[in-house]
Amino acid sequence: MTTTIAPAPARAAIDSFIHTTGSWVASQLDACTRCGICAEACHFYEATGNPEFAPVWKVELLRRAYEQRFTLTGRAKLMLGLDKPVTDEDISHWSPIVYEACTLCNKCAMVCPMGIQLGPLIHDVREAMAEAEIIPADLVEAVRKQEEIGSPLGVTDDAWVDRIEWIADEWEVEIPIDVKGSDTMVAFTSIELMKFPENIVAIAKILNAAGEKWTISTPGREVVNFGVFEGNPDRVKLFMARLLDSAKELGVKRLVVTECGHAYDLLRWTAPNMVEMPCEVTHIVAVIDELIKAKRITLRPGAFDEGGTITFHDACKIQRRGGHIEEPRNILKLLAPTSFKELDRCREESVCCGGGGGVIAIKEADPLRYKVFELKIRQMEEVGATRVAMTCANCRLQFTESLQHFGSPVKAVGLSHLVAEALVEE
């Protein structure tokens, strides 16, 4: 189900397409040879065989809008009836394709012979959908919650404080809140808070053990940014400002994003082009790797060698697009030197979990999301994994839910959690 409010969705979408089309976008659209190779990269296509899920088809409307506005051939083709215009029906037709059958994982860019960055281009298509206000209802609701309540899961300020206090008590771990002058501000996701509290505990233990001067922030308590999923730049900036303003207020040197892929992509790789950054941004897995290398924490080598094969799932926004491909491997090779095995397609070519890009928040996408996860199950079976580690809570939510759905015995674990378990107290 989609929400239709705007009178002329196509008009609004086309304006947005035209607005986003700079030289990079245009040159990439013009480089496409329509060879179709990208289709095979997409887990949604691989799992369903639906040609409409081919990445190149997901940017079809952007292509039409660009060609018909900016190129002679495009205009001529439209006049001669050799190409179709962008209509209101098209917007409604493509909306579920780009919101529910794409996790913006950008794997397609890794196989396109022309190197076209399809993920970001599909995000541009989402922006146009958002402009046209043809967005899946569940996404609209999550965005509203984040805007009004402060968290897409609807966690209120009070509930957040209660929950943090409960976590600190329950696991007897110190979690500094709003400490000015700290070096590091850590921003968690609501998913960790509500579904994987042990992740918060793990990260707290690690940072405390390292003697890091760190804090979390009340106003900057939510790292998730549903504006990105929706494709609304204003809300992206609004949600981001809550974090960055807090970091500035606290005077920290760095902002550490925990297990949230798209938030990391946004804050590390996009934000500096949108706003003034108060500090540097990094990911928790890089911090942990750094702490180990600097001998600020000590881990029991081989701590997880027992218990069968352990494998690693590369998250699209933390590994492939985030750049943290080696760090988790350094850690796993230390913790499970003999039982750690790579999946067949891994690192930059990793198969996405199927829940990213906001897909997991859209109820209608559930069947598709499970279908896609079958690929992941097959991959894990191939290496005989009993456990799969990862650095993204959104992936983990998709893994936990889907493994349960399929009754798989494989256990999904957070890498930080493994590290915390293997900590040697000095």
Give the helix/strand (H/E) hosting 141. helix 137-148
CB of 306 to other proteins, least distance (A): 31
Which residue, 40 or 148, has its beta carbon nearer to ligand SF4? Answer: 40
Q: Does 54 bind other proteins (CB under 8 A)?
A: yes
- CA separation for the pair 54, 98 (Å, rounded): 11
Tokens 């760190």 identify what position? Answer: 214
72: how many CB neighbours lie within 10 A of its CB?
Answer: 8
360 binds ligand SF4 (CB under 6 A): no
Q: Is 109 helix (H, G, I), strand (E, B) or coil?
A: helix
Which residues are bridge partners to 184 per DSSP? 214, 254
Task: Map residues 55-84 to x or -, x wherever contact with ligand SF4 holds by CB under 6 A.
Answer: xx-x--------------------------
Query: Whose Cβ is closer to ligand SF4: residue 192's or residue 230's?
Result: 230
CA angle 402, 405, 410 (to 5 degrees): 65
In whole angstroms, the minimum distance from the beta carbon of 33 to other proteins comes to 5
User: Segment 238-297, which members bind other proteins (CB under 8 A)?
Assistant: 268-270, 272-273, 280
Single out the segment in contact with ligand SF4 by CB under 6 A; choices: 17-25, 99-107, 253-261, 320-328: 99-107
Least distance CB 57 / ligand SF4 (angstroms): 9
Tell me which of ligand SF4, other proteins, none is bound by residue 231, counting a contact when its beta carbon lies within the kind-specific cut-off of 5 to 8 angstroms: none
- How far apart are the C-alpha atoms of 2 and 22, rounded to whole Å? 29
Task: Write the DSSP string, 191-222.
Answer: HHHHT-HHHHHHHHHHHHHTT--EEB-STT--
| Interaction of residue 345 with other proteins, rule CB under 8 A | yes
Query: Does position 338 bind other proteins by CB under 8 A?
Result: no
Residue pointed to by tokens 């550490």: 256
Residue 24 interacts with which of other proteins, ligand SF4, none, CB < 5 to 8 Å by class: other proteins
Query: How many binding residues for other proteins (CB under 8 A)?
Result: 62
Chosen residue from 90, 249, 342, 349 binding other proteins by CB under 8 A: 349
CB atoms within 10 A of CB 21: 17
189, 219 contact by CB (below 8 A) = no
Angle 410-415-421 from CA coordinates, rounded to 5°:
95
> 110 and 349 in contact (C-beta within 8 Å)?
yes
Token reading at 320: 């492939």
Q: Hey, CA dihedral for 194, 195, 200, 205, is it positive or negative?
A: positive
Within a 13 Å sphere around the CA of 379, how many CA atoms are in the beta-carbon half?
Answer: 27
Contact region for ligand SF4 (CB under 6 A) — 97-105, 187-195, 245-253, 272-280? 97-105
Run of H or E including 349 = none
- Does position 116 interact with other proteins (CB under 8 A)? The reply is yes
Question: Does 102 contact ligand SF4 by CB under 6 A?
Answer: yes
Q: Which of 165, 170, 183, 344 is in the footprint of other proteins by CB under 8 A?
A: 344
Contacting residues toward other proteins, per CB under 8 A: 21-28, 30-37, 39-41, 45-46, 49, 51-52, 54, 56-57, 60, 70-73, 76-77, 82-83, 109-117, 268-270, 272-273, 280, 319-323, 325, 344-345, 347-349
Contacting residues toward ligand SF4, per CB under 6 A: 32-38, 41-42, 44, 55-56, 58, 102-108, 112-114, 116, 118-119, 122, 352
